[in-house]
């Protein structure tokens, strides 16, 4: 089923994740400061950033100076509150959103547009492409740390979340019954996802399924809810065992009386089920 791109942009303008924060070439500590700074709706002080990151105020100031020199942040003085020098308040600039992956995002949007024009099943083709991408990314992710055995004690779900974090989705995890709920608070391809949500979000779902498969959960039935809430898309990482358990629980909710009553109302229909087409 195709999604109307114009209506999707209007309806989802206040929902879903923020653009991914470019961190290429930045140290981990500087990237953490930039990530927290970009998440603020208003300019913030060094003291506030120090409390958010756990870094010393002088360290935060040094990192902010570097971000300002790189054009990724700026500062302004707070309003005077009486005697003394007003504090400096810091915020990210337009350069932070435009730096890093603009060429990649442009290519993704062009490919999504091509699929939208030529494919009979844009979402399905997006998922298929994402599956291949997820397999490759997960294999590379495993190879990077194979010597150290970094992932030997982690589940496929945990490894997938780590991979998504490296890709810039900024996932936050909530372990729930029957699976792992993950909020994706950033999107590396947010603009393209607003234009072609069926394709781009399909690619991201395929990526997750491919990664889960490579990490050891073959046939996982993970699901993605694009623009599910303000500030995030919602991902449900579900293993095959969990999917079977969930289906079994759903089946037991129907009493024998209900099942018999339902069956008595059904009449045989010749030929294939017209609704049986796979989406």
3-state secondary structure 113-176: HHHHHHCCCHHHHHHHHHHHHHHHHHHHHHHHCCCCCCCCCCCHHHHHHHHHHHCCCCEEEEEE
pLDDT tens digits, 6-58: 434 444 456 777 666 555 567 778 888 887 887 777 889 999 999 988 889 99
pLDDT score recorded for residue 11: 45
pLDDT score recorded for residue 38: 79
**Residues of the chain with confidence (pLDDT) below 70:** 1-14, 18-25, 81-82, 94-106, 144-152, 176-178, 239-279
Give the torsion through C-alpha atoms of 51, 55, 59, 60, to 10 deg.
-40
Q: What is the pTM of this model?
A: 0.57
Q: What are phi and psi of 179, to 5 degrees?
A: 160, -170
pLDDT score recorded for residue 52: 87
pLDDT score recorded for residue 14: 62
| Distance (Å) of CA 150 to CA 144, 147, 154, 158 | 9, 8, 8, 12
- Name beta bridge partners: 95: none
Q: What is the DSSP letter of 96?
A: H
């Amino acid at each position: 089923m195709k999604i109307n791109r114009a209506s999707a942009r209007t309806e989802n303008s206040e929902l879903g994740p923020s653009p991914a924060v470019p961190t290429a070439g930045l140290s981990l500590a500087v990237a953490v400061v930039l990530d927290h700074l970009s998440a603020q709706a208003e300019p913030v002080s060094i003291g506030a950033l120090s409390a958010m990151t756990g870094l010393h105020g002088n360290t935060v100031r040094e990192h902010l100076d570097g971000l300002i020199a790189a054009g990724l942040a700026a500062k302004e003085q707070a309003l005077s509150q009486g005697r003394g020098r007003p504090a400096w308040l810091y915020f990210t600039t337009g350069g932070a959103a435009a730096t890093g992956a603009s060429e990649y995002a442009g290519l993704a949007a062009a490919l999504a547009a091509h699929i939208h024009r030529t494919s009979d099943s844009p979402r399905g083709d997006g998922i298929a492409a994402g599956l291949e991408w997820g397999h490759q990314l997960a294999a590379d992710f495993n190879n990077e740390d194979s010597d150290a055995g970094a992932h030997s004690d982690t589940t496929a779900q945990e490894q997938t979340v780590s991979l998504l974090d490296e890709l810039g989705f900024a996932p936050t995890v909530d372990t729930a019954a029957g699976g792992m709920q993950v909020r994706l608070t950033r999107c590396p391809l947010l603009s393209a996802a607003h234009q072609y949500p069926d394709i781009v979000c399909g690619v991201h779902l395929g990526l997750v399924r491919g990664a889960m498969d490579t990490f050891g959960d073959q046939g996982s039935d993970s699901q993605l809810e694009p623009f599910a809430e303000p500030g995030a898309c919602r991902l449900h990482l579900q293993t095959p065992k969990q999917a079977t358990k969930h289906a079994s629980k759903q089946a037991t909710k129907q009493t024998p009386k209900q099942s018999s009553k339902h069956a008595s109302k059904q009449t045989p229909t010749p030929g294939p089920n017209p609704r049986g087409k796979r989406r």
